[in-house]
């Protein structure tokens, strides 16, 4: 596969800016809330209390307590004042209240689960393995709780998939006004993955991509990732259609400068859906591209660049103090997946 160097990708063809965008009618909400006191509802509970089968795995630095304090918290949010879109975001990193404020404001349900993802510190440097998929196999086992890797042993109750299911089931009982049951498959023993957005940043975005190749989902949002730059799993046939993947990176991020993210984006096939778009030079909907970049001022700080694409302390603000990339985040999580501009 012929690679294009990152700095060459900064140019966005003028023709793209002039291309007409298909504007589809706003879809109607799939259900309504019956909440006597509409508001943003936030929930927090320990995974070990939600599911008694949950276990710690000290061998991969995945524990429930550190220094005598609980660390297996899971978080969820929904805003019953906002018309629901009928999509559930599963966030694969630590809880981010600013992100969840925006997700619920878009009409999305959102959860953050505590699953066995502590293995990276132990095996991260052993990539790529004899078949080029060493980390990818561990990621898939951590996400599914199924046996894909000989290096770890992560049972079903400790994988992301089961943790998310048990959390949604718990939320359905805890907060029926939130209509969480909408995200369960018939019978209630699995999630309806077509109604799920798997999302994450860095390590989390990489696992989100690996899981979506294995399991068809409604959408994938990848912030500052994916990595696993020595591996080839990104090129596997994907269960999730390519138009459902959305990615965003800062060009000073080491993962971008090292050609890690651009490589993964191409291997995933995102180059089939238009050129790279610099969001600081084009307004939403960015030509319907799935490959978004920014060169916003981060004072040359590579670490700040890594976090700049996620709401929070490293995100870039404009002169008025507002986050510069508010339209980008809304696009990533809500832009209709059917809208696309095929690459020429």
Give the DSSP letter string of 13-70: -HHHHHS----PPPPPPS-----SS-SEEEEEEEHHHH-TT---BGGGTB-SEETTEE
pLDDT at 4: 42
**Pairing of the two strands 69-70 and 65-66:** antiparallel
Q: What is the pLDDT of residue 27?
A: 66
Predicted confidence at residue 343, as pLDDT, reads 55
How far is Cα 45 from Cα 220, in angstroms, rounded to an integer?
A: 25
Q: Which pLDDT value is given to residue 23?
A: 34
Q: How far apart are CA 150 and CA 131, in angstroms?
A: 13
Instruction: Give the DSSP H/E element, type plus range, for residue 110.
Output: strand 109-112
CA distances from 164 to 24, 62, 75, 140, 322 (A): 31, 17, 11, 15, 33
Residue 155 burial by CB count (10 A; 0-12/13-18/19+): exposed, middle or buried? middle
Distance (Å, rounded) from C-alpha 220 to C-alpha 264? Answer: 14
pLDDT tens figures, 191-212: 999 999 999 999 999 999 999 9
Q: Are 342 and 274 in contact (CB under 8 A)?
A: yes
CA-closest candidate to residue 261, choices 236, 304, 228: 228
**What confidence score (pLDDT) does residue 9 get?**
41
E strand map for 169-309:
196-201, 219-223, 245-250, 277-278, 291-294
Domains in the chain with CATH codes: 6-11+37-334 (3.40.50)
Looking at beta carbons, which pairs linking 325-328 to residues 24 or more positions away fall under 8 Å?
325/248, 325/279, 325/294, 325/296, 326/102, 327/279, 327/283, 327/284, 328/248, 328/279, 328/284, 328/286, 328/292, 328/294
Give pLDDT tens digits along the chain (344 positions).
Answer: 334 444 444 434 333 333 333 334 456 899 999 999 999 999 999 999 999 999 999 888 888 998 989 999 999 999 999 999 999 999 999 999 999 999 999 999 999 999 988 888 889 899 999 999 999 999 999 999 999 999 999 999 999 999 999 999 999 999 999 999 999 999 999 999 999 999 999 999 999 999 999 999 999 999 999 999 999 999 999 999 999 999 999 999 999 999 999 999 999 999 999 999 999 999 999 999 999 999 999 999 999 999 999 999 999 999 999 999 999 999 999 999 998 775 55
Q: Rounded to whole angstroms, how far apart are CA atoms 234 and 242?
A: 12
Give yes or no for a contact between 111 and 164, defined as CB atoms under 8 angstroms apart.
yes
- Global pTM reads 0.91
Q: How far apart are CA 325 and CA 320, in angstroms?
A: 13
């Amino acid at each position: 596969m012929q690679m294009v160097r990152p700095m060459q990708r900064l140019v966005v063809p003028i023709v793209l800016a002039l291309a007409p965008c298909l504007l589809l009618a706003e879809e109607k909400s799939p259900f309504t809330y019956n909440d006597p006191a509409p508001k943003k509802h936030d929930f927090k509970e320990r995974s070990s209390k939600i599911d008694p089968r949950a276990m710690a795995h000290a061998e991969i630095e995945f524990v429930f307590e550190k220094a005598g304090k609980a660390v297996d918290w899971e978080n969820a949010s929904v805003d019953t004042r906002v018309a629901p879109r009928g999509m559930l975001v599963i966030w694969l990193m630590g809880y981010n209240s600013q992100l969840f404020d925006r997700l619920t404001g878009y009409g999305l349900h959102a959860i953050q689960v505590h699953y066995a993802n502590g293995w990276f510190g132990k095996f991260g440097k052993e990539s790529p393995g004899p078949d080029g998929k060493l980390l990818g196999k561990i990621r898939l086992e951590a996400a599914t709780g199924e046996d894909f890797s000989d290096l770890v042993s992560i049972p079903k109750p400790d994988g992301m998939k089961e943790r998310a299911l048990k959390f949604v089931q718990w939320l359905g009982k805890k907060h029926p006004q939130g209509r969480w049951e909408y995200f369960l498959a018939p019978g209630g023993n699995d999630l309806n993955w077509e109604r799920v957005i798997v999302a994450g940043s860095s390590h989390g975005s990489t696992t989100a991509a690996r899981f979506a190749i294995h399991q068809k989902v409604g959408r994938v949002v990848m912030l500052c990732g994916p990595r696993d730059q020595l591996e080839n799993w990104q090129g596997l046939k994907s269960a999730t259609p390519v138009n459902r993947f959305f990615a965003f990176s800062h060009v000073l991020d080491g993962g971008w400068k090292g050609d890690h993210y651009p490589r993964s984006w191409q291997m995933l096939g995102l180059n089939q859906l238009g050129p790279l778009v610099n969001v600081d030079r084009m307004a939403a909907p960015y030509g319907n591209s799935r490959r978004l970049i920014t060169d916003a001022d981060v004072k040359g700080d590579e670490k700040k660049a890594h976090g700049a694409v996620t709401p929070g302390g490293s995100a870039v603000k404009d002169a008025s103090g507002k986050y510069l990339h508010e339209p980008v985040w809304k696009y990533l999580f809500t832009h209709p997946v059917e809208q696309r501009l095929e690459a020429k």
